[in-house]
Structure 1
Amino acid sequence: MTLEVSHLVGGYSQIPVLKDISFDVKDGELVGLIGLNGAGKSTTINHIIGLLTPQKGTIKINGLTITEDNQEFKQQIAYIPEMPILYQELTLREHIELTIMAYGLDHEKAWKRATELLKIFRLENKLDWFPANFSKGMKQKVMIACAFVTEAPLMIIDEPFLGLDPLAVHDLLSLIEERKKAGASVLMSTHALDTAEKYCDRFVLLHDGQVKIEGSLAELRQALPGVGETLDDIYMSFTKADQR
């Protein structure tokens, strides 16, 4: 099991945003993290990647916590944020070189993989471009390429489809499937419920900092008979009930 979140309590102040949440992501599994804006999805992700320190609870990646080995813990994660984060003074080539150094990758093997990814996203002729030259969608593709170069065992993907054209969305989903088959675990936060329903193995529905329900689509249907057949039906049944 790659990721284990156990009884996590945390947030940005002494008043917790996350209220005792627990879930896991197994090897070779894509788990969809879904919920309304403010439900705690980004806060959960920020705790997992080490930007926030839990007030209570534990986060383990392959049995390791961040306090036991900070560097090893973080090298097991490839993170694609909702908004691209690039260094304005570095070219695309230099972003890839930085990623290779940060993860201690084999240089030749990593560049072979990077070249394949750049061709997929039609960036192979833009290695000497700076971020100022890229559109938002192209910046997102740079983030995706850098993340998939690492071949990390855990991928954390936050709202990955924003700004991507349909072809790039298809390419990204194909890459996720490829990494799953290789045994990687993927946690993906998304509002694209129709896409999540089609590609995710399980779902964790957050609301008000709590896990309201989790499981495969079949398990959610079984737990909520009469609600509806689709992930959207199940999602709406929870959110509308809480707004009454």
Structure 2
Amino acid sequence: MLTVTHLTGGYSRLPVIKDLNFTVKAGEIVGLIGLNGAGKSTTINHLIGLLTPHTGEIELNGISLQVNPQKYKEQLAYIPEMPVLYEELTLREHIEMVIMAYHLDHDQAWQDAQHLLHLFRLTNKLDWLPANFSKGMKQKVMITCAFITQAQLFIIDEPFLGLDPLAVKNLLTSIRTKADAGAGVLMSTHVLSTAQTYCDRFIMLDHGQIIAHGTLTDLQTQAHMADANLTDIYLALTQEGGSDE
């Protein structure tokens, strides 16, 4: 389980996120919801270790990011909003690099990779370099590399950008498969209708603070909006406007 306790931080001395407290349990998909500028990217950058908290603790299965960053990160897989690939490595070499980095069983990892490559229509592109891939294809490479790991937590930032409808469907199926196998998933997305269908719980951020959290039923109760959908609750609880994170 991911446990975030009293997390405050940002890119300078001025905090962007303030006193965040939440968990992501094994086997559940949690949606991180918020306007541009609400603090989603800042939160994720703290969780993956790119930013150092001003105050607070981040732990994954009892291992502190601050105290033991290597063991913490060994349990984590991250899919960013913008694909980040090594331009000099082929798709095959990216997969081999992940196998080595995560100390995976080579045969099993390639068996898992072949399934994902088929799912995302990349089977015949193993020897392609990133320069040959579209943005959507690069995103599929990132997804494949993340999902061959045995990570205990998957952090996925705006995963649907650039993906065709079939790829979105297959990604959502793969996310649920990981959760059903016992991994926790934290997914940031603006596609609230999809989040409502696939996420088990939600964390709503506004101006760097959690303004609501829980299941859809919990949010309906907190917003005093019985039977409302996630979009209506979101619009009711957050102010209009926002700025880029």
Cα 1:124–1:241 change in 2 (3 A) is closer
Alignment of 1:150-161 (within 5 A): 150-161=149-160
Counterpart in 2 of 1:39? 38
Q: Which amino acid in structure 2 is aligned with residue 130 of structure 1? A: L
Taking the aligned partners of 1:223 and 1:236, their CA distance within structure 2 comes to 13
Counterpart in 2 of 1:21? 20
User: Shift of the alpha carbon at 1:225?
Assistant: 1.7
Whether 2:56 is the aligned partner of 1:48: answer no
Taking the aligned partners of 1:180 and 1:131, their CA distance within structure 2 comes to 29
Taking the aligned partners of 1:102 and 1:18, their CA distance within structure 2 comes to 31
Any conservation in 1 of the 2:31–2:199 contact (CA below 8 Å)?
A: yes
Any conservation in 1 of the 2:223–2:237 contact (CA below 8 Å)?
A: no
Taking the aligned partners of 1:140 and 1:242, their CA distance within structure 2 comes to 29
Taking the aligned partners of 1:228 and 1:191, their CA distance within structure 2 comes to 21
User: Shift of the alpha carbon at 1:206?
Assistant: 0.3
Taking the aligned partners of 1:169 and 1:230, their CA distance within structure 2 comes to 21
| TM-score (norm. length: structure 2) | 0.96
Any conservation in 2 of the 1:156–1:186 contact (CA below 8 Å)?
A: yes
Counterpart in 2 of 1:89? 88
Counterpart in 1 of 2:75? 76
Any conservation in 2 of the 1:77–1:152 contact (CA below 8 Å)?
A: yes
Taking the aligned partners of 1:47 and 1:101, their CA distance within structure 2 comes to 25
| TM-score (norm. length: structure 1) | 0.96
User: Shift of the alpha carbon at 1:70?
Assistant: 2.0
Deviations 1:188-211 (A, max 9, x none): 000000000001000000000000
Identity %: 62
Any conservation in 2 of the 1:20–1:210 contact (CA below 8 Å)?
A: yes
Counterpart in 1 of 2:201? 202
User: Shift of the alpha carbon at 1:93?
Assistant: 0.4
Q: Which amino acid in structure 2 is aligned with residue 115 of structure 1? A: Q
Taking the aligned partners of 1:241 and 1:52, their CA distance within structure 2 comes to 28
User: Shift of the alpha carbon at 1:111?
Assistant: 0.9
Counterpart in 2 of 1:125? 124
User: Unpaired runs of 5+ in structure 1?
Assistant: none
Any conservation in 1 of the 2:17–2:209 contact (CA below 8 Å)?
A: yes
Q: State the aligned residue count.
A: 242
Q: Pairwise CA RMSD of aligned residues?
A: 1.3
